[in-house]
């Protein structure tokens, strides 16, 4: 992997050497092999905040360079982010009505606990991991769903650049919760119930230490087009949701901080890291995901395509589209970017509206443009937490090992941000100048990589195939369990620890994973200590 890793490091580190380690903390000497970024503490440039970087508040502090009216807007977005929505119409709380009729959670904060990863209370620590357990109201995970024929897709504006195809009669997301009166056969169930259990496997380090890995397996039951159970000859046809062409993939809520900085990275700098044909033969390709851009569509652009930056498969191009989509999808709250209900036109929706014509909150924008913009500004301006223990000899040794193992082949340490595109709305654009011109250290190349069969979901997402995932930024990862003790790692929270997350790597990351697996324990501990400092 050395050839490719050096070329990526050259791109990522050249400016650091020229600028003399702007934003460094400490002056420890990690040795000749210590990469310059190992000493940097201000991972988010001027936005970095050190006030909560040792506590459960590590992810929910405003960017350090916010003040005045922008800080007020951030705080307003913070309050809106925590609003719990209820069924419409509500005379007592009209500003909170509109949830559903199907949804996965009822507030933004429910999927992003303290602005970090979501809760996953059905964990692999349960006593009987092989037992099926039903997802309830307190989970931050849901299933994406779509249909696939197995034929190659040619991206065009008409097919929204190979956007996932919704399951007929359902949607492109499985909503396992619903308002009480949605289904007479199953109160509070949405389109279907979702159950989970765990399969286990064992990985052994070179020194003989064994690690048990847990993989969640999901099962869909009780779909609304096949209610109840009918034995023998009276069994109904197989639900459309359970047919062979349907693909499903779990998604866990992601951390919210640093998003504006990632959106401000110049597109050319991300594409410069891509090597889709693996031209240098090092086994690491890195591909961009080009996705449908709803903002461009509404602005009348005949080619509404943009580089995907957010989500587990880089399937959304902006923080605005990610947030507005989550309002409409995850919570069932329509807005100016997505004014139609997520299941509009389905039999379940039509039946519900026929029975509840007074529920006029189910049409049009249920949350105002000002709120969407405030929440998006808040999401763009949450501070990246400053590093801890950057001068520790063990941490510096871990940074060396992280680099030598080839982890920086995908987890690119450094970018310099350009100008943020702003938050568009029909009444105007909100600028986000605080994230522009910053030296940042997200440890991500923002590209798709084949992560192997162990993590594969078998579901395409625009240009991403069933084995590809976007490189997750590593900044703040050391505070994950401090912020939320119930959080896990990877797209379905299967990994309870950072070593487990590494051991799930495969595909293009196989060599780096093997380098970690074959290290002695002291080196493994040092590498994990480095990650813990981020």
Query: Any idea which residue has 């069994």 for tokens?
Result: 235
Report if pTM > 0.75: yes
Tokens of 250: 């779990």
**Domain that residue 196 falls in:** 2-533
Instruction: Give the pLDDT confidence score for residue 64 in this predicted structure.
Output: 97
| Rg for the chain, CA atoms, rounded | 23
Instruction: Give the pLDDT confidence score for residue 59 in this predicted structure.
Output: 96
Instruction: Give the pLDDT confidence score for residue 124 in this predicted structure.
Output: 43
Q: Could you say which residues of the chain have pLDDT below 50?
A: 1-29, 124-125, 230-231
Asked if residues 141 and 493 have their Cβ atoms less than 8 Å apart, the reply is: yes
Three-class DSSP category at 215:
strand
Beta-carbon contacts of 402 under 8 Å, excluding residues fewer than 6 positions away, are 408, 411, 527, 530, 531
Asked if residues 77 and 423 have their Cβ atoms less than 8 Å apart, the reply is: no
How many structural domains is the chain composed of? Answer: 1
Asked if residues 344 and 394 have their Cβ atoms less than 8 Å apart, the reply is: no
Beta-carbon contacts of 264 under 8 Å, excluding residues fewer than 6 positions away, are 417, 418, 419, 420, 421, 432, 435, 436, 438
Instruction: Give the pLDDT confidence score for residue 235 in this predicted structure.
Output: 62
Give the chain's count of helices (H) and strands (E): 14, 16
Instruction: Give the pLDDT confidence score for residue 6 in this predicted structure.
Output: 36
């Amino acid at each position: 992997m050395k050839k490719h890793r050096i070329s990526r490091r050259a791109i990522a580190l050249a400016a650091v050497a020229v600028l003399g380690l702007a934003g460094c903390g400490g002056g420890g000497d990690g040795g000749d092999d210590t990469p310059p970024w190992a000493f940097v503490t201000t991972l988010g440039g001027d936005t970095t905040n050190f006030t909560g970087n040792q506590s459960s508040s590590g992810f929910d502090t405003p960017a350090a360079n916010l003040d005045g009216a922008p800080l007020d807007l951030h705080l307003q977005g913070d309050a809106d982010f925590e609003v719990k929505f209820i069924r419409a119409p509500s005379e007592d709380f009209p500003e909170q009505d509109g949830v559903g009729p199907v949804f996965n959670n009822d507030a933004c904060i429910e999927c992003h606990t303290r602005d970090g990863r979501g809760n996953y209370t059905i964990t692999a620590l349960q006593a009987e991991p092989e037992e099926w357990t039903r997802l309830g109201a307190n989970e931050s995970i849901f299933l994406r769903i779509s249909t696939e024929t197995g034929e190659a897709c040619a991206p065009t504006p008409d097919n929204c650049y190979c956007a996932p195809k919704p399951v007929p009669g359902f949607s492109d997301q499985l909503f396992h919760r619903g308002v009480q009166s949605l289904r007479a056969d199953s109160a509070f169930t949405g389109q279907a119930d979702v159950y989970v259990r765990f399969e286990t496997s064992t990985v052994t380090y070179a020194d003989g230490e064994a690690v048990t890995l847990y993989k969640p397996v999901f099962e869909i039951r009780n779909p609304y087009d096949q209610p109840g159970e009918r034995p023998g000859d009276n069994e109904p046809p197989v639900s459309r949701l359970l047919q062979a062409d349907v693909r499903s993939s779990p998604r866990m809520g992601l951390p919210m901080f640093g998003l504006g900085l990632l959106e401000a990275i110049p597109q050319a700098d991300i594409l410069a890291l891509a090597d889709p044909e693996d031209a240098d033969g090092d086994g690491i390709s890195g591909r961009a995901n080009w996705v449908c851009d709803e903002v461009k569509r509404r602005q009348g652009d005949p080619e509404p395509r943009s580089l995907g930056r957010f989500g587990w498969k880089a399937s959304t191009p902006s923080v605005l589209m990610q947030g507005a989509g989550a309002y409409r999808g995850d919570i069932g709250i329509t807005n100016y970017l997505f004014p139609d209900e997520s299941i509009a036109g389905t039999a379940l929706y039509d039946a519900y509206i026929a029975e509840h014509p007074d529920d006029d909150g189910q049409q049009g924008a249920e949350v105002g443009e000002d709120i969407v913009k405030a929440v998006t500004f808040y999401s763009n301006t949450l501070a990246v937490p400053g590093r801890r223990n950057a001068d520790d000899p063990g941490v510096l040794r871990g940074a060396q090992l992280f680099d030598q193992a080839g982890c920086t082949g995908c987890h690119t340490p450094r970018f310099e941000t350009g100008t943020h595109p702003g938050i568009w709305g029909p009444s105007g654009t909100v600028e986000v100048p605080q994230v522009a011109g910053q030296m940042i250290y997200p440890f991500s190349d923002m590209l798709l990589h084949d992560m192997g069969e162990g993590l594969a979901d078998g579901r395409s997402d625009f240009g991403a195939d069933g084995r590809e995932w976007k490189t997750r930024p590593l900044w703040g990862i050391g505070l994950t369990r401090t912020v939320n003790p119930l959080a896990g790692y990877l797209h379905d929270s299967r990994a309870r620890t950072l070593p487990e997350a590494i051991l799930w790597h495969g595909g293009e990351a196989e060599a780096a994973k093997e380098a970690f697996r074959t290290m002695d324990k002291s080196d493994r501990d040092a590498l994990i200590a480095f990650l813990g400092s981020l």
